[in-house]
Structure 1
């Protein structure tokens, strides 16, 4: 036989204490566990020897009907079909013949593994005879609920009526926060025990496994903190799980905690919201105290009504906030819809953006831009925070009221951003909308120093609950007001709307891009075909016209010879135009073949070729530093041939032309420029400069086809670069191109 006594528990870690298998019960009752398979007595509290005169060593393993025939007969149906695990069913009040005479017990049954657990709790002498006597209190409470103006008033009513029904010295309504610290939000008491109203108690006072038992078993009573536990005996070495037990013995640490608090009796009732532990109704008495089953049932019933009303009040408040924030969100959506880009709809209406989350500052960030609105950290700090979120945050919505705890750099600007609410617009492009709240310094009153003392006992560090519950004040800094659930939902819905807009725009752009790609290919094929087919006719015109002039020229009049010359010039110009058009069409059809290019050598070769055709003109060439680049050498040669030829052409009216070629370096790219002192151009026509067949000067003044600069831009952009120009009439022009440090080898566009 195994004696199920409390083990030497490692009290250095309360959160690991096995409080669901204490191996004992409180002494004001009896526990009997019957194995369901064969109806034998598997576990029994040691006090059956005193109460029934039975020796546990003789009764364990025997038929329950044989050992206690009266109880077996009275609870036959309940033992045959016990409630499922996680629930306790109260049966009825019975009288039992004991060694001390007739005693009254209140019976309850639960399930633990393969056993039905029958518990008999002795009825206190002052027990209420029935629920009838409690009905007026219950009815009054339900009626008063309707008139409660706030959640605080509702909690106050619950504390008053439960103390009225139970007679405890003090009743507290205790609410958990997100970190499981508890705060006393309502209280009703006499003068025997001190007030704990508004005091906070640390999460370690009720560790995780204790909270789970509170959630599972809604009501628990300790009649005397000085009780001597009654061990459970069994032939089975496995301890009996008492999670659903009414009489379960409690942790020695908790009993020490009660004695230090000056309360020798307590009762707690769990307040559940959607199956989650919201808080507790905690009852205390300075002296030992028993509360009857009927009163406890009434308190449990009242607490469930209170919980439902509490949920209704909170849901009503939440719904009102949702409606208010929904109006703001609708305005923001209208702003975004009215703008070409949704971001403009946000940054151009900062008041609505901040109002959506009741924030004092906001920021909208993409990889390239940062817009800061209202009271925010400096732009560099916002960008650093954005980089941290991009690296570490995997959630669509991130919320904290203590940013510096998770991001220490935020300690530098707690006055503007102790609280952060953020939504990720796009993970692919890493874009965020951020809301900021400033620090709100608070003085928190704890019920004693929340740090539990550790003392050395017999060579072992033993954890004790604190001995003093005097108010212990703490100044809480680097925290903002917490983000309300409705605010978090509102920004989440805004994110969904933005993502919908972005996806819709992306689909539209993808469709347009595909259509443009198809059209471009058709146009390239068309222009290639036309230009290729036109080359031969124009060459024939030039060739036959020259033959006519040579062989029949003596017979032609002066006017006839002039006509033939005009035909030759026009056909030659048209042929050149066709050749340039063919070359332009091929720009998008050939693959790039990048390699290292000596730009100084390339420019010198082109300059020498052009100088031969300059006709003795005075040209001052200024060649600066021209570094090597990685690009397609054939195409880059064509770029500089066009740029230098244009510079030479448009400086023709100058007595002394000055043409400068140079470069500068920028992050990740090399910028080349060609600057001249020629006729220049009017900047209001800059959009036409790089267009196909676009000319800013008369054909009679300057020859050309209007395709050269279009070729330049197309070649540079295929390399992943940029092309632009600056100029002024009669004051020269500068054409610049930027080539990236690395050019990817690509197929035909």
Structure 2
């Protein structure tokens, strides 16, 4: 026994697949082949061994009628039966004939195009003494099948019964797996025969055209592997000008490669019955005998019926199992969709049903990639591994299709790094535009396969590349296969596709709701901005009057006021001035949302320098170190950015007031698609627990008594940045300082353009 370790690979069958096994041009010599016109008036083709059956040469028989070939009585019987019987591609039994030579034959007929092919197989001339037991045997076989429910047990019953009927020394029942390899599920054998139970025969042993023949003609007998083929005369059919199609012929000569294959296996006689389920070749019942062995037509017919009954039983069992499995999948699907659809947040909805998500696909891990966010469930690959996988999927897989494989590394080599977690994936795209996916992962399943001989040795020879040499050894050969997971079932893929459709519906509904909400918020914001603008504008004059008259009162009547009265008037003036500043800031904030962007190139160095100059009065004689690094030129509205930078720097100046030596730094960095700016200081900082309040209107993290301000400056900064398609954030440490950052896209989307075209003036 040999053991090796491999990864999943396919075997090239192209040479073997081209062998013309349906038109060999010859037959096995234990019978006579005769081809006649459809009107039964003329013999157009015969096998060369015709003289052994009727004592007349092949050329002598061509162009004659059946009476010349078979004798008047036999010809009349054949013609009468043919005219009373509907002849199709599958052979029909015409009866038993005794030829003038004294040979007794079973007569069969089938039609191919405009010709009728007659076959006369040698027979003993007597019905086998146990033939009367064949039909009760079928009834017994049926009852035994119902005593078992596992496919292996059902196949074992079939192997036992076929061996009993035929007398073959070894009977195997094997099914073809997803890769085309034959897996022996059951076996019945005489003493001295080698066992192949639970071993596999490589797909190359049964090439493509042989599988097609097994579906068309569901039983095949080779009585003696040492036979000498009898060629057809002439080689081409005179009516078609092509070699005779022997697809449905019982006597069809088989490939020399297969004959040698049998001999290498120690088999001189074989018979195979097809197990066909829903038009597909599910498997074979394969009979072997160490000595030549012929099987009469009636016994072959009984075995063919046993194979058909076995196919029906297996189909019934698999359909029942598949129905129950689909039912369970749909139950889980409904439960998942209920949880996802009822949650307010899509991500939270998916997280709430994560156990069902994994059970649904029989997966060990999963990942949701949606709107720039990733959520992993169970034993999934690392975030960067999934990100790279999503990039590969988006380039190589249609967004319209569910993608699945149980050997990911064979198509995506980087997957070898995480094969233990994800040798198989089932990827469901949930957007036709964005890289949004739900992906299930199945771990590697290391398989040890016992082969009936080395599956990789059947190959074309170097001297004759068009001739395929059969395997010479069938000794058990063990292979360890890595890099694969359990196969995805058809039902899992189909219902995953339904899950995709349902998710698209949920996402679309959420998008519609969000769009509707955004529209309502937009209208409300416009109304609020208009109201704020109106109120702010109207309040400015009364507040100025209060300040003005308070100043006049102090100027002209101050000598008559007591100290307390002066203090009261001063407080009124300060309060009115603060209210005026608040109104001005509100007016500015509302204008930020109403004014159209005027995009142009902005030298951020000039913007920062202008803001520092404006702050000169507030700085006074303080010791402030300005650390201004070289800044880039960006696209944006200059007036808006002048306001944003001024607010950020004014903030830094204000909150470093308690520092003897203040340090304010302005720097930038370049991202892949955006410019990022940071304004840092060594001031009082803030507690990150309250960072979410920083950029809100009227939000303050420090007492008014300690630091003056209206609480609108940072809200203005956020509005300006977001109107340019950017983002803002801040990091602070109490009593150690703070850093305020914002990022601006390198390409600004022009507002009001329904196609959202990128604008870049440079």
Fold agreement, TM-score > 0.5: yes
Aligned residues: 726
Q: Are the counterparts in 1 of residues 26 and 230 from structure 2 also a CA contact under 8 Å?
A: yes
Q: 2: distance between equivalents of 1:412 and 1:26?
A: 55
* Change beyond 3 A, Cα 1:79–1:557: farther
What secondary structure is seen at the aligned counterpart in 2 of 1:587? helix
Give TM-score, length-normalised by structure 2.
0.81
Aligned to 1:235: 238
Greater mean alpha carbon deviation, residues 28-37 or residues 279-288: 28-37
Shift of 1:333: 5.9
For residues 630-685 of structure 1, give each alpha carbon's deviation from its aligned partner in whole angstroms, at most 9, with x where no partner exists: 13222111101222334445566x48583613124263344433345666666555
Does residue 162 (structure 1) correspond to residue 162 (structure 2)? The answer is yes
Greater mean alpha carbon deviation, residues 210-219 or residues 260-269: 260-269
* Change beyond 3 A, Cα 1:60–1:344: farther
Q: Are the counterparts in 2 of residues 26 and 229 from structure 1 also a CA contact under 8 Å?
A: yes
Q: Are the counterparts in 1 of residues 665 and 681 from structure 2 also a CA contact under 8 Å?
A: no
Q: 1: distance between equivalents of 2:538 and 2:687?
A: 38
Does residue 91 (structure 1) correspond to residue 93 (structure 2)? The answer is yes
* Change beyond 3 A, Cα 1:153–1:297: same
Q: 2: distance between equivalents of 1:620 and 1:453?
A: 83
Does residue 105 (structure 1) correspond to residue 111 (structure 2)? The answer is no
Aligned to 2:176: 176
Aligned to 1:251: 255
Shift of 1:71: 3.2
Shift of 1:500: 2.3
Aligned to 2:476: 472
Q: 2: distance between equivalents of 1:123 and 1:296?
A: 13
* Change beyond 3 A, Cα 1:663–1:75: farther
Aligned to 2:305: 301
Aligned to 1:399: 405
Aligned to 1:27: 29
* Change beyond 3 A, Cα 1:112–1:578: farther
* Change beyond 3 A, Cα 1:712–1:629: same
Q: 1: distance between equivalents of 2:462 and 2:727?
A: 75
Q: 2: distance between equivalents of 1:185 and 1:655?
A: 85
Aligned to 2:615: 610
Q: Are the counterparts in 1 of residues 656 and 681 from structure 2 also a CA contact under 8 Å?
A: yes
Q: 1: distance between equivalents of 2:478 and 2:702?
A: 80
Shift of 1:273: 1.5
* Change beyond 3 A, Cα 1:571–1:155: same
Q: 2: distance between equivalents of 1:675 and 1:460?
A: 75
Aligned to 1:707: 712
Shift of 1:499: 5.5
* Change beyond 3 A, Cα 1:72–1:713: farther
Aligned to 1:514: 516
Q: 2: distance between equivalents of 1:334 and 1:551?
A: 71
Greater mean alpha carbon deviation, residues 654-663 or residues 100-109: 654-663
* Change beyond 3 A, Cα 1:646–1:183: closer
Aligned pairs (5 A) from 1:205-284: 205-232=205-232, 233=234, 234-236=237-239, 237-284=241-288
What secondary structure is seen at the aligned counterpart in 2 of 1:313? helix
Shift of 1:53: 5.4
Give TM-score, length-normalised by structure 1.
0.82
Aligned to 2:7: none
Aligned to 2:365: 362
Aligned to 2:442: 436
Does residue 743 (structure 1) correspond to residue 745 (structure 2)? The answer is no
Q: 2: distance between equivalents of 1:531 and 1:372?
A: 47
Q: Are the counterparts in 1 of residues 224 and 292 from structure 2 also a CA contact under 8 Å?
A: yes
Shift of 1:282: 1.1
Aligned equivalent of 2:526, options 514, 524, 535: 524
Aligned to 2:696: 691
Shift of 1:162: 1.0
Q: 1: distance between equivalents of 2:94 and 2:173?
A: 30
* Change beyond 3 A, Cα 1:537–1:326: closer
Greater mean alpha carbon deviation, residues 488-497 or residues 210-219: 488-497
Q: Are the counterparts in 2 of residues 196 and 447 from structure 1 also a CA contact under 8 Å?
A: no
Q: Are the counterparts in 2 of residues 106 and 123 from structure 1 also a CA contact under 8 Å?
A: no
Shift of 1:495: 6.3
For residues 368-409 of structure 1, give each alpha carbon's deviation from its aligned partner in whole angstroms, at most 9, with x where no partner exists: 566666666666555555544454445514131x44444444
Shift of 1:191: 2.8
Structure 1 unaligned blocks of 5 or more? 1-10
For residues 698-738 of structure 1, give each alpha carbon's deviation from its aligned partner in whole angstroms, at most 9, with x where no partner exists: 77886655433222101111223222335577776543323
Q: 2: distance between equivalents of 1:608 and 1:576?
A: 21
Q: Are the counterparts in 2 of residues 590 and 748 from structure 1 also a CA contact under 8 Å?
A: no
Does residue 636 (structure 1) correspond to residue 641 (structure 2)? The answer is yes
What secondary structure is seen at the aligned counterpart in 1 of 2:748? coil
Q: Are the counterparts in 1 of residues 428 and 496 from structure 2 also a CA contact under 8 Å?
A: no
Q: Are the counterparts in 1 of residues 529 and 594 from structure 2 also a CA contact under 8 Å?
A: no
Greater mean alpha carbon deviation, residues 67-76 or residues 178-187: 67-76
Q: 2: distance between equivalents of 1:516 and 1:382?
A: 32
Aligned pairs (5 A) from 1:645-664: 645-649=650-654, 654=658, 658=662, 660-664=664-668
Q: Are the counterparts in 1 of residues 529 and 593 from structure 2 also a CA contact under 8 Å?
A: no
Aligned to 1:7: none
Greater mean alpha carbon deviation, residues 258-267 or residues 676-685: 676-685
Aligned to 1:144: 144
Q: Are the counterparts in 2 of residues 592 and 747 from structure 1 also a CA contact under 8 Å?
A: no
For residues 37-56 of structure 1, give each alpha carbon's deviation from its aligned partner in whole angstroms, at most 9, with x where no partner exists: 89654433334455445665
Q: 2: distance between equivalents of 1:26 and 1:705?
A: 104
* Change beyond 3 A, Cα 1:549–1:418: closer
Q: 2: distance between equivalents of 1:227 and 1:376?
A: 60
* Change beyond 3 A, Cα 1:592–1:315: same
Q: Are the counterparts in 2 of residues 152 and 186 from structure 1 also a CA contact under 8 Å?
A: yes
Shift of 1:16: 0.5
Q: Are the counterparts in 2 of residues 588 and 748 from structure 1 also a CA contact under 8 Å?
A: no
Aligned pairs (5 A) from 1:335-350: 341=345
For residues 407-433 of structure 1, give each alpha carbon's deviation from its aligned partner in whole angstroms, at most 9, with x where no partner exists: 44455565x247423332435324343
Q: 1: distance between equivalents of 2:520 and 2:96?
A: 90
* Change beyond 3 A, Cα 1:550–1:153: closer
